[in-house]
């Protein structure tokens, strides 16, 4: 296992990485302090006063979306599996068209702060809000856990912290910083952190892309050829589909399932949907998605070059043996290209990414708890805007602590499935209800409840009994299974796929239809008309808070 | 729409409609709204079906037509990569088409109808400071 010793002392200078990251934290904290308003009502805390422009929010959306999983994860997947890694990014990008065409503007026109605002608009308030709030919390929690656990893996590589205790300490620092951003800055501060981080990430990636391409005289075919040569025997597989998912008909079906969850999940992710409320109008919401699509699309083209560049210049075997495995592809490439300083910059950007994304997730979860569960379900909407924000702040602290503990416990776990699961739940439990309540007049409360709970339960059950939790064959080198439960003798899986989307997404659409058709209760014509007119015309939509 | 941007003149009630002029129900039942909804759905539904189908074709080809996707086009650039990059192109093209359509066709019609809605719920006042 000598390549595994390619640990932190060999690559870069942890002090440099920490210094650059500390600089980012300092600058963003100053900005958050400067932009924050002391007396924050709900519109300020949850939606940043709805004063962001479309382009600003578009950059922030890209910041929210380009998480560590998509930056480090996709570059790594391309470096190791070539073409199959590239497939991921396409699903992640095309998904934005669902948000652009079917969801963003209509949601902005009808809702106030959360996804549940739209789902419960013309249906029975308390049951639908409770269901939508629960699904928001679950999706956000899985996403959050994945980011926090990912931070632990990165620490090993970038800061030279090898002990689990030390990594746990760094996870705790990330959590505390995240709570600080959310409490001080609310949505306004969080949005600025996202904007800065997205800018750094895209510029950093662009520099590396030009650098890599320059090494191959800007000939992409030569770059691909070099990565094939570096991979050695079987390297030509990188250029074609199948290196990761082509093993059997079951893995192919699994890929189809993942592809479906990716493309339909984005428009159901609560932290993405909540961003549409930070702009003053549906028109600005549209502009923000357009900006996000361009930025995210260009960034994924960058990751294609970075992934193959890492494959060609570092080599898949070296990457797989490094402490962060696939996640270390981009940092290792940075070190190969620009040495200590570029590695420090990329490492800091990677941390900033995690920090910004977890802050965005925390504000979403706390808004949903305070606004949906606490105020509208438990207190029947009797709480004032200030009271709601107070609860949201406390919730943010609680969520932060839970995320720190969860992240420390999940450190070193296989985390990719947590993100895939979040997408599968978003596509199954959230998207059908969003679409039907916007586009199907007959759609009613029972349809929504069937779909949300059906999607949630079926996803969770299928995941628990899938190979990601138990029953993957043991790795001959370590004798441990690659499932969550690493003991190969524990095997209770009966569902063959890692991703449940191909079953649960059609199922919850079907449940929505069955529930609707079997219930004679429908929304009042007044409410249905109001939602339809508001969603399309923008009449009665929430206004931006006046700037003082 | 806040009260300040509300249309200056009440729209005369259409004959045969029992809802008060300017109510959501009245607007929802109006032929103009019907037309707006049709315009919207005629654009976004076929377009959504198109990009989802095109994405699915790509995924299925990658999964089940490996030899086809492995066709060499230029050096190490194979057909699969080209079709993958075309997904990016189609996403950018659809985005641009939608933006232009929405700005030129949809927005003016929607703004016209929004002005007709007299019932204004100004939630945001409670947060205005």
For the record, the structure tokens of A67 come out as 């998480």
List of chain A residues whose C-beta atoms are within 8 Å of the C-beta of residue B82: none
Tell me the nearest-neighbour CA distance from A100 into chain B, angstroms: 8
Inform me whether the pLDDT recorded for B75 exceeds 70: yes
Cβ(B6)–Cβ(A538) below 8 Å: no
Name the closest residue on chain A to residue B81, using Cα atoms.
A83
Would you give the distance in Å from CA A320 to the centre of its chain? 24
Inform me whether the pLDDT recorded for B50 exceeds 70: yes
Contacts of residue B38, defined as CB under 8 A and 6 or more positions apart, other chains included, come to none
Inform me whether the pLDDT recorded for A60 exceeds 90: yes
For the record, the structure tokens of A382 come out as 């009797």
Contact A239 B24 (CB under 8 A): no
Would you give the distance in Å from CA A289 to the centre of its chain? 16
For the record, the structure tokens of A252 come out as 């192919």
- In a mutational test of the B interface, the residue from A38, A54, A88, A241 whose CB has the highest number of chain B CBs within 10 Å is A241
List of chain B residues whose C-beta atoms are within 8 Å of the C-beta of residue A263: 52, 55
Tell me the nearest-neighbour CA distance from B109 into chain A, angstroms: 8
Residue B119's pLDDT band (boundaries 50, 70, 90)?
very low
Residue B91's pLDDT band (boundaries 50, 70, 90)?
very high
Contact residues, A window 266-285, toward B, CB-based 8 Å cutoff: 283
Cβ(A277)–Cβ(A49) below 8 Å: no
Contact A86 B84 (CB under 8 A): yes
> Shortest CB distance from B55 goes to which of A94, A101, A545?
A94
Would you give the distance in Å from CA A106 to the centre of its chain? 22
> Shortest CB distance from A240 goes to which of B33, B41, B69?
B69
Please name which of A296, A320, A172, A325 lies closest in space to residue A232, comparing C-alpha atoms: A320
pLDDT for A351: 82
- In a mutational test of the B interface, the residue from A62, A90, A267, A531 whose CB has the highest number of chain B CBs within 10 Å is A90
Which of the two residues, A350 and A515, has the higher pLDDT score? A515
pLDDT for A171: 86
Inform me whether the pLDDT recorded for B100 exceeds 50: yes
Contact A239 B127 (CB under 8 A): no
pLDDT for B5: 40
Share of chain A above pLDDT 70, in %: 96
> Shortest CB distance from B24 goes to which of A90, A286, A529?
A529
Any CB–CB contact under 8 A between A15 and chain B? no
Tell me the nearest-neighbour CA distance from B97 into chain A, angstroms: 11
DSSP string, A247-273: SSHHHHHHHHHHHHHHHHHGGG-HHHH
For A151-167, the pLDDT digits (tens) are 777 776 777 777 888 88
Contact A534 B24 (CB under 8 A): yes
Alpha-helix runs per DSSP H in A322-384: 329-367
Any CB–CB contact under 8 A between A55 and chain B? no
Q: Where are the domains of chain B?
A: 3-118
Cβ(A133)–Cβ(A377) below 8 Å: yes
Name the closest residue on chain B to residue A255, using Cα atoms.
B63
Vertex A84 angle, CA A83 and A87, to 5° = 95
> Shortest CB distance from A255 goes to which of B27, B63, B85?
B63
Residue A2's pLDDT band (boundaries 50, 70, 90)?
very low
For A348-399, the pLDDT digits (tens) are 888 888 888 999 999 999 999 999 999 999 998 888 888 999 999 999 999 9
Q: How far is CA A70 from CA A63, A121, A421, B120, in A?
A: 11, 33, 15, 42
Residue A418's pLDDT band (boundaries 50, 70, 90)?
confident
Residue B50, Cβ neighbours under 10 Å: how many? 13
Highest-pLDDT range among A163-172, A289-298, A436-445: A289-298
Handedness of CA A527, A529, A531, A534 (dihedral sign): negative
Residues linked to residue B77 through DSSP beta bridges, in sequence order: B74
Residue A416's pLDDT band (boundaries 50, 70, 90)?
low
Cβ(A206)–Cβ(A306) below 8 Å: no
Tell me the nearest-neighbour CA distance from A452 into chain B, angstroms: 23
List of chain B residues whose C-beta atoms are within 8 Å of the C-beta of residue A50: 124
Residue B88's pLDDT band (boundaries 50, 70, 90)?
very high
> Shortest CB distance from A533 goes to which of B2, B87, B117?
B117
Name the closest residue on chain B to residue A537, using Cα atoms.
B110
Mean pLDDT, rounded, of chain A: 88
Tell me the nearest-neighbour CA distance from B50 into chain A, angstroms: 11
pLDDT for B118: 55
Residues linked to residue A424 through DSSP beta bridges, in sequence order: none
> Shortest CB distance from B25 goes to which of A256, A287, A526?
A526
- In a mutational test of the A interface, the residue from B76, B87, B118 whose CB has the highest number of chain A CBs within 10 Å is B76
Cβ(A434)–Cβ(A103) below 8 Å: yes
Contact A525 B25 (CB under 8 A): yes
Question: What predicted TM-score, i.e. pTM, was given to this entire model?
Answer: 0.90
For A443-489, the pLDDT digits (tens) are 999 999 999 999 999 999 998 898 888 888 777 777 777 777 778 88
Name the closest residue on chain B to residue A245, using Cα atoms.
B63
Contacts of residue B68, defined as CB under 8 A and 6 or more positions apart, other chains included, come to B61, B79
Q: How far is CA A152 from CA A200, A408, A411, B96, in A?
A: 22, 8, 6, 40
pLDDT for A362: 94
Residue A131's pLDDT band (boundaries 50, 70, 90)?
very high
Tell me the nearest-neighbour CA distance from B71 into chain A, angstroms: 9
Vertex B48 angle, CA B59 and A429, to 5° = 80
Question: At which residue do the structure tokens 């628990």 appear?
Answer: A464
Burial string for B11-34 (b: 16+ CB within 10 Å, else e) reads beeeeeeebeebbbbbbbbbeebe
DSSP string, A369-411: IIIIIIIIIISTT-S-HHHHHHHHHHHHHHHHHHHHHHHHHHT
Q: How far is CA A365 from CA A99, A452, A457, A511, in A?
A: 20, 17, 20, 26
Any CB–CB contact under 8 A between A126 and chain B? no
The span from the CA of A153 to the CA of A148, in Å, is: 9
Handedness of CA A185, A187, A189, A194 (dihedral sign): positive
SS3 (DSSP) at B77 = strand
Cβ(B58)–Cβ(B89) below 8 Å: no
Contact A221 B77 (CB under 8 A): yes
For A61-95, the pLDDT digits (tens) are 999 999 877 788 889 889 988 888 888 889 999 99
SS3 (DSSP) at A286 = helix
Inform me whether the pLDDT recorded for A203 exceeds 80: yes
Cβ(A170)–Cβ(A155) below 8 Å: yes
List of domains in chain A: 2-414 (1.20.1740)
List of chain B residues whose C-beta atoms are within 8 Å of the C-beta of residue A537: 27, 33, 36, 110-111, 113-114, 117
pLDDT for A10: 53
Contact A240 B40 (CB under 8 A): no
Contact residues, A window 384-403, toward B, CB-based 8 Å cutoff: 384-385
- DSSP element (H, E) containing B78: strand B77-78
Cβ(A101)–Cβ(B44) below 8 Å: yes
Q: How far is CA A320 from CA A147, A326, A327, A332, A333, in A?
A: 20, 6, 9, 11, 13
Contact B75 A221 (CB under 8 A): yes
């Amino acid at each position: 296992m000598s390549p595994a010793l390619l640990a932190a002392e060999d690559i870069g200078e942890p002090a440099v990485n920490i210094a650059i990251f500390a600089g980012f934290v300092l600058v963003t904290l100053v900005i958050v302090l400067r932009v924050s308003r002391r007396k924050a009502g709900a519109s300020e805390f949850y939606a940043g006063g709805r004063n962001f422009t479309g382009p600003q929010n578009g950059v922030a959306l890209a910041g929210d979306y380009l998480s560590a999983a998509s930056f480090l994860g996709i570059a790594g997947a391309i470096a190791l599996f070539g073409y199959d890694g590239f497939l991921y990014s396409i699903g992640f990008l095309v998904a934005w068209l669902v948000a652009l065409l079917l969801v963003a503007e209509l949601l902005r026109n009808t809702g106030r702060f959360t996804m549940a605002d739209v789902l419960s608009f013309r249906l029975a308030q308390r049951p639908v809000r409770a269901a939508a709030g629960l699904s928001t919390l679950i999706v956000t929690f899985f996403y959050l856990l994945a980011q926090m656990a990912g931070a632990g893996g990165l620490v090993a590589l970038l800061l030279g912290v090898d002990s689990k205790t030390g990594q746990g300490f760094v996870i705790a620092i990330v959590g505390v910083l995240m709570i600080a951003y959310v409490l001080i800055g609310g949505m306004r501060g969080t949005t600025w952190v996202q904007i800065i981080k997205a800018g750094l990430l895209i510029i950093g990636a662009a520099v590396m892309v030009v650098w890599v391409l320059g090494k191959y005289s800007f000939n992409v075919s030569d770059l691909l050829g070099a990565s094939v040569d570096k991979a050695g025997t079987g390297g030509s597989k990188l250029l074609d589909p199948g290196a990761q998912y082509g093993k059997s008909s079951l893995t192919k079906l699994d890929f189809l399932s993942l592809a479906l969850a990716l493309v339909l999940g984005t428009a159901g992710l609560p932290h993405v949907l909540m961003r549409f409320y930070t702009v003053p109008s549906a028109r600005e919401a549209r502009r923000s998605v357009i900006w996000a699509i361009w930025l995210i699309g260009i960034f994924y083209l960058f990751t294609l070059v970075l992934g193959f560049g890492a494959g060609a210049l570092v080599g898949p075997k070296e990457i797989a043996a490094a402490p962060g495995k696939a996640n270390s592809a981009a940092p290792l490439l940075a070190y190969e290209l620009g040495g200590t300083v570029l590695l420090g910059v990329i490492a800091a950007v990677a941390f900033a990414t995690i920090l910004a994304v977890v802050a965005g997730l925390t504000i979403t979860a706390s808004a949903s708890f305070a606004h949906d569960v606490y105020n509208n379900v438990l207190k029947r909407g009797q709480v004032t805007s200030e009271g709601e924000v107070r609860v949201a702040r406390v919730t943010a602290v609680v969520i932060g602590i839970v995320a720190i503990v969860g992240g420390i416990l999940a450190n070193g776990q296989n985390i990719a499935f947590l993100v895939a699961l979040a997408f599968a739940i978003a596509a199954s439990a959230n998207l059908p209800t969003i679409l039907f309540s916007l586009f199907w007049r007959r759609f009613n409360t029972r349809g929504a409840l069937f779909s949300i709970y059906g999607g949630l339960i079926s996803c969770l059950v299928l995941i628990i009994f899938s190979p990601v939790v138990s029953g993957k064959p043991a790795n001959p080198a370590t004798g441990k299974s690659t499932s969550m439960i690493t003991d190969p003798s524990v095997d209770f899986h009966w569902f063959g796929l890692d991703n449940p989307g191909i079953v649960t997404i059609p199922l919850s659409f079907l449940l929505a239809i069955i529930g609707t058709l079997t219930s004679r209760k429908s929304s009042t014509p007044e409410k249905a008309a109001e939602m339809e007119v508001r969603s399309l015309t923008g009449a009665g939509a929430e206004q931006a808070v006046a700037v003082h | 729409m806040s009260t300040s941007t509300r249309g200056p003149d009440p729209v005369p009630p259409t004959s045969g409609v029992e809802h008060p002029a300017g109510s959501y129900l009245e607007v929802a039942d109006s032929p103009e709204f019907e037309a707006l909804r049709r315009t919207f759905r005629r654009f976004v539904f076929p377009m959504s079906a198109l990009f989802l189908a095109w994405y699915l074709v790509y995924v299925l080809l990658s999964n089940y037509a490996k030899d086809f996707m492995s066709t060499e086009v230029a050096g190490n650039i194979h057909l699969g990569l080209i079709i993958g990059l075309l997904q990016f192109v189609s996403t950018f093209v659809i985005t641009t088409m939608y933006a232009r359509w929405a700005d030129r066709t949809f927005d003016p019609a929607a703004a016209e109808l929004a002005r007709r809605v007299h019932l204004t719920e100004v939630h945001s006042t409670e947060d205005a400071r």
